[in-house]
Structures are given as C-alpha cells and as structure tokens.
Amino acid sequence: MHLRPPSIDHGIVSFVWALVFTAFIWAGLLAVGVSNVTAVIVGLTAGFGIFLFVRLYGAEEPRRLRR
C-alpha cells in the first residue's frame, strides 16, 4: 500500500501561506510600536503580494513516471 497525503488545491495552499504571513507581519509591526492602522495596511498589502507570489511560483511540476 502506498500512502499519499490528500490533494489540496493550490489556491487554498496559497491563501493559507498568505494568511499566516499576514498575521506574522501584523503582529511583528505591532511589537515594534507601529500603529494598528499602519500595521493592518502593511500586513494586508504584504499578504496579497505573498498570495500572488505563492500562487504563481509555488506549484511544483508533476513528475512523469519512468517506464
């Protein structure tokens, strides 16, 4: 038996990466004393950029089986 992890759509994976890094950037900016409004704007902008980057360049090409 060959066990494989479940297949998850690449858009969902991209969204999760963006959500995690957005929260990390937002919390980091608040930790260094940036105002909440500025932290939200910078976090959301960076999150959108991260989503696009992972969506466009994060997918692996499927491997071809050798015969």
Question: What pLDDT tens digit does each residue of the chain (67 aa) get?
Answer: 777 877 788 889 889 999 999 999 999 999 999 999 999 999 999 999 999 988 888 777 767 777 6
Minimal CA–CA distance to 44: which of 27, 32, 58, 26?
26
- pLDDT for 59 equals 73
Minimal CA–CA distance to 58: which of 26, 13, 22?
13
- pLDDT for 25 equals 96
